[in-house]
Amino acid sequence: MMADDSNARRQRLARDRLDQAARAAWLYYIAARTQDEIAAQLHVSRQTAQRLIARAVAEKLIKFRFDHPLGACLAKADQLTARYQLAHCEVVPTLNGDDGSLPGLAIAAAQYLETWLSQPAPLVIGFSTGRTLRAVAAEISPLDAPQHKLFSLCGTLGYDGRAMAADPVTRIAERTGAQCFPMTLPLATSTAEEKALAERQRAYQTLQNLNRQARCLILGVGHIGWRAPLHQSGFITDAELAALMEAGAIGEIAGCAFDARGRRVATPLAARITALWAGDAGEAIRVGVAAGAEKLPALRAALASGLLNSLITDEATAAGLLAR
């Protein structure tokens, strides 16, 4: 009989303590009271209040719900990381408007790049070009990082030598004081012989060495189709674009076209493209910064093949990548 009374007292004491833990947790998480306020209200010490809150969590009395649009983005980033074994993944909310998700992508990529540029040890970082990368360059905060080397993966001139767009490497170097190695060449030379001549120049060989030494590449991803950026910007002709599509090209990074398996597409144009292949960057973190339904096939191929091992995209694009 005494044993039964003892067990009953222990059970009642355990229930009382659990009830006390529940009260402390409610005050802390729902009523937003401080631990000192909880201790005063429950007539216990601050240390006891801490233990009560910890017990409520341990007993799973508290269930959290992240009630914010970024919650879905974080979940998709985790899923993409698991599916493609990514070193880094960030998903930003999808926005409507003329620029779509470009501002969010640019800010996220700039913040990520700044973590590299803030490191004291010298690093080599490479960049492609394009509208997205130019937006990233515009978001970079002023830094003092002269120890780092920044280089271009591709030429930024048209056939006639006209600059088609500002090179993001130059802009980022101006804002950070980093050493700058641009590729001041046509993206596509007139002949394969012209490209061969450019590759024999010391400046081009320096860029090749930097690509092999790179710790990080920040890469825009373009699709191959009749509204492809390479074509709209005047870098390639109608006939060259048609030849790429016939050869199975579905995307391009730094002007280098690739197929559904992430392999470079061999066409006469490829022999005239003055660009460094991102896949030659060894152990570098290769971050694709891209969004849009038209880019899904290219992104799938680049991620599945390992051509990209990191990604910054928007929620709609992430959903498209996860749907298959």
Q: 246-263 in b/e burial notation, b at 16+ Cβ within 10 A? A: ebebbbbbbbbbbbeebe
| Strands of 204-270, DSSP E | 216-220, 222-223, 251-253, 256-258
Query: Using one digit for the tens of pLDDT, what is the confidence trace for 222-266?
Result: 999 888 888 877 778 889 889 999 999 999 999 999 999 999 998
- Non-local (6+) Cβ contacts of 64 within 8 A are none
- Going from the N-terminus, what domains does the chain have, and what CATH number goes with each? 2-58 (1.10.10), 69-322 (3.40.50.1360)
Q: Compute φ and ψ for 182, nearest 5 degrees.
A: -80, 165
| Size (the chain), residues | 324
CA quadruple 87, 93, 94, 100: dihedral, nearest 10: -90
Report H helices in 59-89.
69-84
**Residue-wise pLDDT tens digits, 51-89:** 888 888 888 777 666 566 677 888 899 999 999 999 999
CA distance 60 to 82: 27
Mean residue pLDDT across the chain: 88
Three-state DSSP class for 118?
coil
pLDDT-derived band of residue 3, with 50, 70 and 90 as boundaries? Answer: low
How many helices (H) and strands (E) would you count in the chain? Answer: 13, 10
Contact criterion met (CB below 8 Å) for 149 and 179: yes
